[in-house]
């Protein structure tokens, strides 16, 4: 991919600066606040309508992923309960590799090691194994391991507006990928 000054370079063929992925219908409003902060900085953000609650990987969802410069994935304690979340994460990881897209994980009230080791999610995978094959489950586990090994942000009960200021620096660099431990 050709390097440009701004993420939202109008010459770019990509439609979105950021594909924002998170578990829908969550008790917290962190993702909505992040979305609003990015929009305020004039970042082109693709964010599924939270009301739809759908994680189906239809053509429009995959197209939005492919047409994004980078992915922000908000990972939470109940993330692995949803096979849709896991399928979306696996697809994002595939695209990260094949299209060299950047990915920033935000570990919302979870630790990166939870996704590397996956022990907190064993019950979820036991439930999924009743409906899905071993190959699919291994694909999801691989995606969780990959994202758990990417430097990202760990959110632990900070004041959301202050935390979001660390994430959304300026128009030229809407996400600064650093390790916040």
Report the catalytic residues. 88
* CA contacts within 13 A on the Cβ side of 113: 1
Give Cβ neighbours of residue 93 (< 8 Å, ≥ 6 apart).
103, 142, 143, 146, 147
Q: How many other CB atoms sit within 10 Å of the CB of residue 17?
A: 22
């Amino acid at each position: 991919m050709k390097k440009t000054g701004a993420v939202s370079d109008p010459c770019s063929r990509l439609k979105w600066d950021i594909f924002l992925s998170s578990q829908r219908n969550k008790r917290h409003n962190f993702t909505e606040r992040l979305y609003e902060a990015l929009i305020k900085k004039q970042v082109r953000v693709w964010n599924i309508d939270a009301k739809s609650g759908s994680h189906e990987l239809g053509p429009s969802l995959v197209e939005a992923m492919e047409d994004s410069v980078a992915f922000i994935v908000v990972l939470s304690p109940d993330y692995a309960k949803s096979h849709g979340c896991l399928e979306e994460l696996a697809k994002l990881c595939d695209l990260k590799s094949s299209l060299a897209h950047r990915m920033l994980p935000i570990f919302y009230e979870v630790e990166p090691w939870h996704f590397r080791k996956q022990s907190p999610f064993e019950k979820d995978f036991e439930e999924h194994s009743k409906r899905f094959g071993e190959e699919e489950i291994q694909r999801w586990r691989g995606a969780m391991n990959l994202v758990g090994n990417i430097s990202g942000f760990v959110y632990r009960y900070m004041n959301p507006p202050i935390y979001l200021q660390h994430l959304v620096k300026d128009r030229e660099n809407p996400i600064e990928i650093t390790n916040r431990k």
